[in-house]
Structure 1
Amino acid sequence: MASSDVQTVHSGADKAKLALAVALVVVGFVAFYLLTGRGALAQWGALLVALAAAVGVFVASESGRQLIAFGRDSWKEVKKVVWPARKEAMQMTAYVFAFVVVMALFLWLTDKTLEWVFYDLILGWRK
């Protein structure tokens, strides 16, 4: 049996932190809609404060730390990418456009040929 790479939250504290983060998000949206009579500043303020608290709680959990570590590793990998020079990028773009035009012409000719074969030769329906 193959081993699974799925990681789950094991500690009760981490589960509580994640539940609290979700609860804070829900509280933020509920507060946003309950404060409709108080003005936009109060609505958006309550929503942003609740979302910021939820992010803070999430980052304090093990899942949040793993997500931040994943982001750092991903950024390191992006820095290693060798991006093409402008000339090479323009050439590759031109190749793609040329291929699209050639393929469009081929498909159009195929469609018109099949239309002619089926409607004119086989069925005899003249337009």
Structure 2
Amino acid sequence: MSNSSQVETVSNSGDKVKVVLAIVMLIAGIFAYSFFTDYNIYARLGMFVAGLVLAVALFAMSETGKRAFGFATGSYNEMKRVVWPTRKETIQMTGIVFAFVSVMAILLWVIDKLITWIVYGVVLGWN
């Protein structure tokens, strides 16, 4: 039995460096926001956003980032083609789900009481 699917990983060292630097930039932005508590909130947010922007830019330049952004773009385009249910259909399906769950809850409660009666009342004679 042959397996034709392969796991793709970061292959060249330049891409590995870019991904690691992107992670470091993101961590640096989070650290700067948390560490510099004496600064104005806007300055702290600016440090975080700068770290985030640098991280995204570095990641986007790597082959892994290009594949990830390509996947995200394709997913977004596919989401635009989805036909979403109307409000009426959503409410009807939600009602059906609630009715089914209620019926199943009652059925399981009855089965539980029946098994309890059989085990404790009939078999063990404790009642």
Same fold by TM-score greater than 0.5: yes
Tell me the amino acid that sits aligned with residue 19 of structure 2.
L
Give ranges in structure 1 of 5+ residues lacking alignment: none
Contact 1:35 1:42 in 2 (8 A): no
Q: Which string of whole-angstrom CA distances, capped at 9 and with x for unpartnered residues, describes residues 52-76 of structure 1? A: 2111111122222211111111112
Number of matched pairs: 126
Q: Which residue of 2 aligns with 1:71?
A: 72
Residue matched to 1:108: 109
Determine what percentage of the aligned residue pairs are the same residue. Answer: 42
Greater shift, 95-104 or 3-12, is seen at: 3-12
Which residue does the alignment assign to 2:14? 13
- Alignment RMSD (CA, Å): 2.0
What is the deviation of 1:101? Answer: 1.2
Calculate the TM-score normalised by the size of structure 2: 0.83
Q: Indicate whether 1:25 and 2:14 are aligned.
A: no
- How far off is 1:104 after superposition? 0.7
Task: Give the deviation of 1:112 after TM superposition.
Answer: 0.6
Q: 5+ residue gaps in structure 2?
A: none
